[in-house]
Structure 1
Amino acid sequence: MEERFHQAPCGFVTMTSDGLMKSANETFLNMLNYSAQDVIEKHIESILSAANKFFFHTYFYPFIRLYGHVDEMYLSLKSGSGQDIHVLLNGRRYEQDGVELIDCVFVHMRKRIQYEQELRNIKTKLEEAYKAKDEVIAELQALHRENEQKRQELIVLNGQLERLATTDTLTGLKNRRFFQERLAASIALFAEKASPCSLCIVDADHFKRINDTLGHDAGDRVLKQLAGIMQAGSREIDTVARFGGEEFVILLPGLEEQQVKAFAEKLRSAIELAPWSECAVTVSIGTATLTESDTDNTIITKADRALYASKAGGRNRVTHAAELKD
């Protein structure tokens, strides 16, 4: 097998991630008219032309680090007699015993006229760029700065997009999608560590009447003020979200039944006593506390039933799901 490897119809070189050649088969050595001592522990750039060194730095290294492989890279290698040997290079990165290595296969391109025609302009520009290396380095540095600036802009943009994807545009609260993700995480934490968690569903009383009599703009202002009161009355670890329409949800990690009832009652009172510019506003609240048998659907259903009981009981009140009869 080793004999077949050394006599393979293509050159084979293993080098470090820094370009230091560690082994080479006989085909590669014969292709370039070198002995093993001429290449082993030597840098790959020692057998590259000036233009190809630049090309190697701007194409091979970035691609092998980013993708782990490079396919059909066209290069000229310097032979032992000083001739240009045109090859196609395929490389693949791997790790062995904790050391990062790159296997490279070199195919001799004897019929290279078509390739030279396609690359002539590029090679000429690269050779000119290498001669004016100070200008090229300055340009590359400028490109790196621009790339870093664009990367930072992209990070900011991604953050803005993430906020838009998880935020209710009217109230500025988190949206239903974000709440569902946090609820799922709380249920998983409860299953793992029995960490308590409760939630409230808050619904504005007679909100349709507000829209019908005062208009939708007034209704929107009421929703925004409600959102502000709920956010101000919640802890930093709580999740306050708009569930839909005039309905809001508050996820309260760490609160047991009595604690969430006290929280909800305090919130209900703060809303009732708030200085409303449009009209008097009250809310009905349904609460529920996680149990071992709950899923994201069942805990919401329980809180929703408690909300319905608050509505049916005269509105402007708090009901916990544990108070309901099955």
Structure 2
Amino acid sequence: MDERLQYAPCGYVSITHEGIVIDVNQTFLAIMGYSRANLVDNHFESIMSTANKLIFHTYFYPFINLNGHVEEMFLSLKDHKGLAIPFLLNGRRFEKEGVEIIDCILMQMGKRIDYEVEIRTAKRQIEEAYWEKDQALVKLEQLHMEIEQKQQELMELNANLVKLSVTDKLTGLKNRRFFEEKLEDQMILYSQTGQPFSLYIVDIDHFKKVNDTWGHPMGDSVLAKLAEVLQSHVRKGDIVARYGGEEFVLILPNMDAAESKIRAEELRLTVASSTWETGQITVSIGIATFIQMDSDITLLKKADLALYASKENGRNRVTHFTDMNK
């Protein structure tokens, strides 16, 4: 090693990719109170606490393998008396005569340096958690692998939850949560512009008979096909969602009561004239058009009452709430 590097104002340690020390300068030996024989040909982690071994495995090796270098990594190393000496470590990987070597520069840190909150908190949590489990060192690697696996599973689960949070899995339509959010948006728009809008509740007639006769898989197929029919019938900007079971809801912006009845009748006829594996499928539709005194609860209640009237009056029909008294 070059004489100037031996006494450089910072520690220098050269290790193999496996972590075996192959060279060390006098500055580092003086700081730590070791001789060359204490460190060379020994594992670098032999002078680390359990917590710092975990930090080393979690950050040092992944960054070296991915980027070829590590910058300003905080690490504590045990000196010859077993005392923890804090360092900032910079490392860089290179190949020499076909052998991979990692050079590490270690800057000793003063006791009064105010570390960043995240580093201090993470170090304290790791040391507290793993100091108590010092006798369980054999299981640490297994535990670390299990944590990584669980984190991956959690990431995949969260991704699915984001998608499922607004989508009905069976039909591919938006779900009740999405519908309720859009209904609230539509009411806000009404308060600002007075633009009318209508709401449909669409229910499959005698759907229980379909499930009982053909089985639930065929019932699911009917629900999925009806979703396609509804999607093909609506305009751009209309909202179609599965409300639950065999009920679907539609929000139709800028549509008054008269037009809503016409389009609902067209929808009813489209469903009735479509080809179904189970024979004819029909729907009953209840409609309510939003007025100034309405809330989301009253609007849904009106549409539900209108749907009930369609069912009571023979099914396969359309009823608007305003026509019920007539």
1:197 corresponds to which residue?
197
1:182 aligns with 2:182: yes
1:322 aligns with 2:322: yes
Residues 253 and 156 of structure 1, relative CA distance in 2, 3 Å threshold: farther
- What pairs up with 1:78-227 in 2 under 5 angstroms? 117-120=84-87, 122-123=88-89, 125=91, 128=103, 161-227=161-227
CA deviation after TM superposition for structure 1 residue 290, in Å: 0.5
1:72 corresponds to which residue?
none
2:250 corresponds to which residue?
250
CA deviation after TM superposition for structure 1 residue 192, in Å: 1.5
* Percent of pairs with identical residues: 45
Residues 156 and 264 of structure 1, relative CA distance in 2, 3 Å threshold: farther
1:278 corresponds to which residue?
278
TM-score by length of 1: 0.54
Residues 223 and 196 of structure 1, relative CA distance in 2, 3 Å threshold: same
1:239 corresponds to which residue?
239
Which amino acid is the alignment partner of residue 119 of structure 1? P
**2: distance between equivalents of 1:179 and 1:302?**
17
Structure 2, gaps ≥5 residues long? 1-8, 11-78, 93-101, 107-153
CA deviation after TM superposition for structure 1 residue 262, in Å: 1.1
Contact residue 203 and residue 247 of structure 2 kept, 8 A: yes
CA deviation after TM superposition for structure 1 residue 128, in Å: 4.8
**SS of 1:119's equivalent?**
strand
TM-score by length of 2: 0.54
**Alignment length, in residue pairs?**
195
- What pairs up with 1:43-62 in 2 under 5 angstroms? none
**SS of 2:168's equivalent?**
coil
Deviations 1:262-317 (A, max 9, x none): 11111100000001112210000001100000100000000000001111111100
**2: distance between equivalents of 1:158 and 1:253?**
33
Deviations 1:35-94 (A, max 9, x none): xxxxxxxxxxxxxxx99xxxxxxxxxxxxxxxxxxxxxxxxxxxxxxxxxxxxxxxxxxx
Contact residue 285 and residue 318 of structure 2 kept, 8 A: yes
Residues 124 and 226 of structure 1, relative CA distance in 2, 3 Å threshold: closer
CA deviation after TM superposition for structure 1 residue 160, in Å: 5.4
Contact residue 89 and residue 104 of structure 2 kept, 8 A: no
Structure 1, gaps ≥5 residues long? 1-49, 52-112, 132-153
**1: distance between equivalents of 2:275 and 2:295?**
38
CA deviation after TM superposition for structure 1 residue 118, in Å: 3.5
Note the aligned Cα RMSD (angstroms): 3.2
Residues 118 and 260 of structure 1, relative CA distance in 2, 3 Å threshold: farther
**SS of 1:166's equivalent?**
coil
CA deviation after TM superposition for structure 1 residue 206, in Å: 0.5
2:266 corresponds to which residue?
266
List, as ranges, runs of 4+ consecutive aligned residues in structure 1 with deviation greater than 6 Å. 154-159
Residues 236 and 155 of structure 1, relative CA distance in 2, 3 Å threshold: farther
